[in-house]
Structure 1
Amino acid sequence: MSKATNSPKKPSSQRKDVVRAEKLQAGYGTKSVCGVASFSLQSGQALALVGPNGAGKSTVVKTVVGQLEAVSGTALIHGAKVDDRTLDFRREVAVVFDDDAFFPALTVEEHLAIVSAGHGVEDVEEVIASELEFFGLKALATSRPYNLSSGQRRRMLLASAFVRPRSLLVLDEPEQRLDTAMRHRLATRLRAEVDAGLALLVVTHDPEFLTTVATKALFIADTVHPMTPAQAAAAIASENPHAE
């Protein structure tokens, strides 16, 4: 059996839904935090979730990937009910949320080594070196996360998603704590990977990032409705006229 690479998996000639949400209500217990969401995401598509602060975007995403129970409705990944404990899920889905999850005793390089080797990636050292270079962490490879700045830790967590194979990448405000140049580089790379077959589900508050990356968008609030990327970027800009 050949080992995995850290590239996004290419879609088959017959497109199928990577994610499908049907009448999904996200929330806590029996209390929903936003309107009912129904959407699909296929290989080669990037769906951006937008909406006001506190509208429930992150809650929807966490429900889709099984970190929260749905109040009602269903979410399927590759046609199966979501269970983030299964090997199939962990093989296919890479997730980065807006939190700092790391092992205090491990260096940046050791974190990436565990993730890549654990997913059967070939040429682990080469893959890690490439991501350290891309995310500007080469000089910090032997540093421990608690010695890094908030932005540097964010880049380390993002790098951990790129050193492993994935057919679905889920990112919660990946632009946060990144400088303008890194935001642009990340957006450009993500769009290239989407064009190569990755399915991307992303929460963002950055209009420029959104229009670079997204192929479609979903507005999350008391009601949920689809938007074009241009419409979603305009909605973000109107909410925050100083947005980049």
Structure 2
Amino acid sequence: MTLLELSGLVVGYGGTAVCPPLSLTVAPGDAVAVIGTNGTGKSTLLRTVLGLQDPLSGTVRAFGRAVDERERAFRTRVAGVLDDDAFFPGVTVREHLVLTARGHGVADAGAVTDRVLDHMGIAGQAGAMPHTLSSGQRRRFLLASALVRPRDLLVLDEPEQRLDTAMRGRLADTLRAEADAGTAVLFATHDDRLLAATGARALHLSDDGAVLLDPDEAPGVLAGFR
């Protein structure tokens, strides 16, 4: 069963491609990391998968349909965290997460939120306003916003950013558990240790093309970017 399918996909801005054409299929329970040096189109690819911008050519389909971020059926099954801060103004960390969970029909949203806050190590900041958090705490908070809601596809742009070593280890465990539970996980990363710990396949983007690497090949390629 294919959950996400990219076919001859070219992404970019203003008619200018930022990565070579690529094709990829992702099934439930798959974990795929997008790797490459800066400027090879990793973030742009993820934005296109999330329906936040149109492809220059080719297609991206999720759940058997063309991706359309405006469709409720798509939004209810896809959780994404990009490299930007987005939160409701005037509410605390916990209130934000409870609102997110309730908005997606989560039963007992408060209890789910409390478990996720504890898992992400920010239970002590539950009553804080998001803008008062440190950069690392804000990153945990944004990741928590994806974990309090239902999801069949989880899309994360460099989720390891601003996380300490211990939290990166917990993040790897979380992504692996998501895949084991049947969620399709697509994430961009520069961290070879995170990649190795998740056991993900890797889509390597470069000026020469896009190559899908097996889990045992990918961390060595990524480590070579340093």
TM-score normalised by L of structure 2: 0.97
Unaligned runs of 5+ in 2: none
User: Partners in 1 of 2:138 and 2:50 — Cα distance?
Assistant: 23
User: Partners in 2 of 1:142 and 1:212 — Cα distance?
Assistant: 32
RMSD, aligned CA: 1.0
Match of 2:195 in 1: 210
Match of 1:231 in 2: 217
Match of 2:123 in 1: 138
User: Partners in 1 of 2:16 and 2:178 — Cα distance?
Assistant: 36
User: Partners in 2 of 1:168 and 1:108 — Cα distance?
Assistant: 24
Q: Deviation string for 1:185-204 (max 9, x for gaps)?
A: 11112102201211000101
Query: How many residues are aligned here?
Result: 225
User: Partners in 1 of 2:66 and 2:198 — Cα distance?
Assistant: 27
User: Partners in 2 of 1:80 and 1:143 — Cα distance?
Assistant: 40
- Counterpart mapping for 1:1-244 below 5 A: 16-222=1-207, 223-240=209-226
- 1:215 positional shift: 3.1
- 1:88 positional shift: 0.5
**Are the aligned partners of 1:30 and 1:71 in contact in 2 as well (CA < 8 Å)?**
yes
Q: Deviation string for 1:149-176 (max 9, x for gaps)?
A: 0111110010010100000000000011
User: Partners in 1 of 2:181 and 2:190 — Cα distance?
Assistant: 24
The amino acid that maps onto 1:226 is: L
User: Partners in 2 of 1:129 and 1:63 — Cα distance?
Assistant: 32
**Are the aligned partners of 1:23 and 1:38 in contact in 2 as well (CA < 8 Å)?**
yes
The amino acid that maps onto 2:10 is: Q
**Are the aligned partners of 1:28 and 1:69 in contact in 2 as well (CA < 8 Å)?**
no
User: Partners in 2 of 1:56 and 1:139 — Cα distance?
Assistant: 36
Percent of residue pairs identical: 48
Residues 44 and 225 from structure 1, CA distance in 2 versus in 1: closer, same or farther, beyond 3 angstroms? same
Q: Deviation string for 1:48-69 (max 9, x for gaps)?
A: 1000011111111111221111
User: Partners in 2 of 1:40 and 1:93 — Cα distance?
Assistant: 16
The amino acid that maps onto 1:71 is: L
Q: Deviation string for 1:81-138 (max 9, x for gaps)?
A: 1111111011100000011111231110011011100011011111011011111111
